[in-house]
């Protein structure tokens, strides 16, 4: 097979907010930049983000970046790296204004300033009263940001490869990343894109769980590509379950609903969050609210014939507020839960939402790995930003509104760092044909049809296994069994049966490649979770219910070969202020 080749200064894999923000920085600097996306850019999952983006603009209540930093460190259950968190929170206000200047139609206050709503885990004055920090475009903030960034990229002449699927990274013997092998989904033809830098911005892996808020495309491909290139994944045991997914369906009802004044009720009509978080109540951190709902249901106070969910009440906000501030939520509730929230509460239950772990990076977006007996080193030419990366600003639990911020802040930072890198690395390095062949082998392997089960069956089994063995609450024996089940699925995947004509209908091959990625990420998650013998943030371990800072205040690194784990310290030292030492986390 002849392999078409193209050359660019910079390759960006992923056209969500993270990839587009980085690409824009590069294209505006006149770098020759290509963006590859497996879906049309504006269908990337950023489009689904509802509630908003955090920045201490203080438009509604007093605020400053230092309080935002404190809340983020506390929300992360002290696993977040404080230098990166400081960097993000300090940059936030300017980047919201910059987005506004790019054309993002933020909602407005009466005085014309950008509208901000309260979100979970936000406080004034280091743990005091509730703050209002989340800048919103109604409940379609991600849609507004993604479309604006796409338009700005078109204007800056970024080159797009729409509906191309990235297979694997290409690297040379000295460890430089030289681009990637991608597949034109429509024609089935592979394409080699050579680049002096490659940035992974492929989003999260919510599809490893059955009930989730994520699009079907969120299969964590970039993280799996990193694993296969020998790069470890960091903190994969920390997977966020959002408290308010539509019960039985999983679609997200934004925290913005509770920010606007909505609250949760159990079968007794009790506003139960007052018991779990007396001060913050329904706006406690997501891990806290998810666990509270799961406990209410487990102890028999769930609602409905199967007592398997709770209710989110917002009718008291009035039709005007709901129509103006939460129009998308009303649509979703009517479509998927068959209730109009203007009149009736929405049935909700926690649902898998956000991948806190990912490809380890520093605050410039460079992928960094520890090398034997030396401190961590950047992998030359490789960057990662957004949900596929772990910088780590979210630690063990992300605060709502901090992810849209993360993708914009670190997308821009990576773009700036790449501009400097390109000045020092002006020429393409010679290509390593062995690495190209290895990537091609992954592709051709999925042209051969096995005799076993269908790809769809394995996908469902992975999702069921992860939900059952590695969900909101975890137990040592259940996790161990989960690792075994996932290893069995690995064997079953090897003999998977592709649909007939898979060479013509490429979707079958794409699905197989995605399921292989899901499996590798599911294994990373359950193996990392099995090893962590404490409870912290989203990792709630029934046998080890307390946080253990003496033994476990450290990041996990999972390597694919033999499922090996290593650990590295949390960066506790911020850039310019005093650090926030670990304290009991009370809301
Ligand atoms: C329903 C929902 C609501 C949310 N609401 C909020 C909110 O209000 N505030 C907030 O801060 N966060 C929110 N989040 C989280 C936030 O939206 C995401 O974390 C963030 O948008 C991720 O952006 P990203 O650029 O990293 O990835 P994405 O937007 O997911 O983009 C990934 C890109 O990678 C491409 N890609 C993936 N694999 C491949 C491959 N193999 N080959 C080629 N291309 C590939 C995709 O095509 C896509 O272009 C929400 C998340 C969900 C699911």
Distance 285 CA to ligand 1 centre (A): 21
**Given this model, what pLDDT does residue 449 score?**
67
Q: How many CA atoms lie within 13 A of 297 on its CB side?
A: 23
Q: Which of 117, 140, 210, 286 is catalytic?
A: 286
Predicted confidence pLDDT, tens digits, the chain (587 residues): 679 999 999 999 999 999 999 999 999 999 999 999 999 999 999 999 989 999 999 999 999 999 999 999 999 999 999 999 999 999 999 999 999 999 999 999 999 999 999 999 999 999 999 999 999 999 999 999 999 999 999 999 999 999 999 999 999 999 999 999 999 999 989 999 999 999 999 999 999 999 999 999 999 999 999 999 999 999 999 999 999 999 988 899 988 899 999 999 999 999 999 999 999 999 998 889 999 999 999 899 999 999 999 999 999 999 999 999 999 999 999 999 999 999 999 999 999 999 999 999 999 999 999 766 667 899 999 999 999 999 999 999 999 999 999 999 999 999 999 999 999 999 999 988 888 999 999 888 887 667 789 899 999 999 999 999 999 899 999 999 999 999 999 999 988 887 655 454 678 889 999 999 999 999 999 999 999 999 999 999 999 999 999 999 999 999 998 899 999 999 999 999 999 999 999 89
Tell me whether residue 179 is exposed, middle or buried, using C-beta atoms within 10 angstroms of its C-beta: 0 to 12, 13 to 18, 19 or more: buried
Measured from the Cα of 214, ligand 1's closest atom is 53
Atom of ligand 1 nearest to the CA of 17: 25
Residue whose pair of structure tokens reads 């007052």 in the numeric block: 274
Residues with CB under 6 A from ligand 1: 13-19, 36-39, 44-46, 48-53, 141-142, 165-166, 201-204, 213-214, 217-218, 221-222, 252, 254, 354, 386-387, 400-404, 407
pLDDT at 286: 87
Closest CA to 198 of 379, 10, 36, 378: 10
pLDDT of residue 505: 60
Predicted local distance difference test score (pLDDT) of residue 446: 80
Q: Is 90 left (phi over 0), alpha (psi -120 to 50) or beta?
A: alpha
Whether 210 is catalytic is no
Question: What number does the ligand 1 atom closest to the CA of 256 have?
Answer: 8
pLDDT of residue 477: 96
Q: Produce one character per residue of 91-118: b if its CB has 16 or more CB atoms within 10 Å, e if not.
A: bbbebbeebeeeebebbeeeeeebbbbb
Q: Which residue has the tokens 């090893």?
A: 531
What domains can you pick out in the chain, each with its CATH number?
A: 8-238+356-434 (3.50.50.60), 247-349 (3.90.700.10), 436-552 (1.20.58.100)
Cα-Cα-Cα-Cα dihedral sign, residues 421, 426, 432, 437: positive
Cβ(18)–Cβ(407) below 8 Å: yes
pLDDT of residue 500: 58
| Structure token pair of residue 24 | 């824009």
**Which atom of ligand 1 is nearest the CA belonging to 51?**
8
> Counting beta carbons within 10 angstroms of the beta carbon of residue 462, is it exposed (0 to 12), middle (13 to 18) or buried (19 or more)?
buried
- Of the candidates 422, 257, 226, 403, the one whose C-alpha atom is nearest the C-alpha of residue 332 is 257
Closest CA to 195 of 387, 411, 26: 26
pLDDT number for residue 504: 46
φ, ψ (nearest 5 deg) of residue 177:
-90, 130
DSSP-assigned letter for residue 333: I
The full 3-state SS of 402-422, as one line of letters, equals HHHHHHHHHHHHHHHHHHHHH
Angle between helices 433-445 and 506-531 (to 10 degrees): 100
Helix axes 17-28, 402-424, angle to 10 degrees: 40
Q: Cα(366)–Cα(199) distance, rounded to whole angstroms?
A: 9
Compute the half-sphere exposure of residue 219: CA atoms within 13 Å on the CB side of its CA: 23
**Pocket mutation for ligand 1, best pick of 36, 46, 259 (most atoms within 8 Å of C-beta):** 46
pLDDT at residue 564, rounded to an integer: 94
Tokens of 257: 């609903």
Question: Of the candidates 153, 144, 190, which has an alpha carbon nearest to the alpha carbon of residue 170?
Answer: 190
| DSSP assignments along 429-467, one per residue | PPP-HHHHHHHHHHHHHTTS--SS-BHHHHHHHHHHHHH
Q: Name 384's bridge partners.
A: 200
Ligand 1 geometric centre to CA of 45 (Å): 4
From the CA of 43, how far away is ligand 1's center (Å)? Answer: 10
What pLDDT does 376 receive? 83
């Amino acid at each position: 097979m002849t392999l078409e080749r193209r050359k660019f200064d910079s390759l960006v894999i992923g056209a969500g907010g993270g990839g587009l923000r980085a690409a824009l920085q590069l294209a505006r600097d006149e770098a020759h930049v290509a963006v590859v996306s497996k879906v049309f850019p504006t269908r990337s999952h950023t489009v689904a983000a509802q509630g908003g983006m955090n920045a201490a603009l203080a438009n509604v209540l007093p605020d400053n970046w230092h309080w935002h930093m404190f809340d983020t460190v506390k929300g992360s259950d002290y696993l977040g790296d404080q230098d990166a968190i400081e960097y993000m929170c300090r940059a936030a206000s300017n980047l919201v204004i910059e987005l506004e200047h790019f054309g993002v139609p933020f909602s407005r206050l009466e005085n014309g300033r950008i509208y901000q709503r309260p979100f979970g885990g936000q406080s004034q004055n280091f743990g005091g009263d509730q703050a209002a920090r989340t800048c919103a475009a109604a409940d379609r903030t991600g849609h507004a940001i993604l479309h604006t960034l796409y338009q700005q990229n078109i204007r800056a002449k970024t080159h797009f490869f729409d509906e191309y699927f990235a297979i694997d990274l290409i690297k040379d013997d000295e460890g430089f990343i030289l681009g990637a092998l991608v597949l034109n989904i429509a024609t089935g033809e592979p394409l080699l894109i050579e680049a002096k830098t490659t940035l992974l911005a492929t989003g999260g892996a919510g599809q490893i769980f059955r009930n989730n808020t994520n699009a079907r495309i969120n299969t964590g491909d970039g993280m799996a590509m990193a694993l296969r290139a020998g790069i470890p994944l960091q903190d994969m045991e920390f997977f966020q379950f959002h408290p308010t997914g539509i019960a039985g369906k999983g679609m997200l009802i934004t925290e913005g609903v509770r920010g606007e004044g909505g609250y949760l009720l159990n079968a007794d009509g009790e506003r139960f969050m007052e018991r779990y978080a007396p001060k913050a109540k329904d706006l406690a951190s997501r891990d806290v609210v998810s666990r509270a709902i799961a406990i209410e249901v487990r102890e028999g106070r769930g609602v409905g014939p199967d007592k398997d969910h709770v209710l989110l009440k917002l009718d008291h906000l009035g039709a005007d507020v709901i129509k103006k501030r939460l129009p998308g939520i009303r649509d979703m509730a009517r479509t998927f839960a068959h209730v109009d929230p203007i009149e009736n509460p929405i049935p909700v239950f926690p649902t898998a939402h956000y991948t806190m772990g990912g490809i380890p990076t520093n605050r410039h977006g460079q992928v960094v790995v520890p090398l034997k007996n030396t401190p961590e080193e950047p992998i030359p030419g490789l960057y990662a930003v957004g949900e596929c990366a772990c910088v780590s600003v979210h630690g063990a639990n992300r605060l709502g509104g901090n992810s849209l911020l993360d993708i914009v802040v670190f997308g821009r930072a990576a773009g700036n760092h790449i501009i400097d890198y390109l000045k020092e690395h002006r020429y393409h390095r010679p290509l390593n044909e062995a690495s190209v062949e290895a990537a091609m082998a992954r592709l051709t392997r999925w042209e051969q049809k096995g005799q076993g089960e269908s790809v769809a069956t394995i996908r469902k089994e992975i999702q069921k296994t992860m939900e059952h063995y590695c969900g909101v609450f975890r137990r040592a024996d259940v996790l161990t069994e989960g690792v075994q089940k996932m290893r069995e699925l690995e064997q079953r995947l090897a003999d998977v049966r592709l649909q007939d004509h898979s060479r013509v209908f490429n979707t079958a091959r794409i699905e197989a490649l995605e399921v292989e990625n899901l499996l590798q990420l599911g294994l990373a998650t359950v193996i990392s979770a099995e090893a962590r013998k404490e409870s912290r943030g989203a990792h709630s371990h029934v046998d080890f219910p307390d946080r253990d800072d003496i033994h476990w205040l450290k990041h996990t690194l999972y390597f694919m070969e033999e499922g090996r784990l290593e650990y590295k310290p949390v960066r506790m030292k911020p850039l310019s202020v005093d650090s926030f030492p670990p304290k009991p986390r009370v809301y």
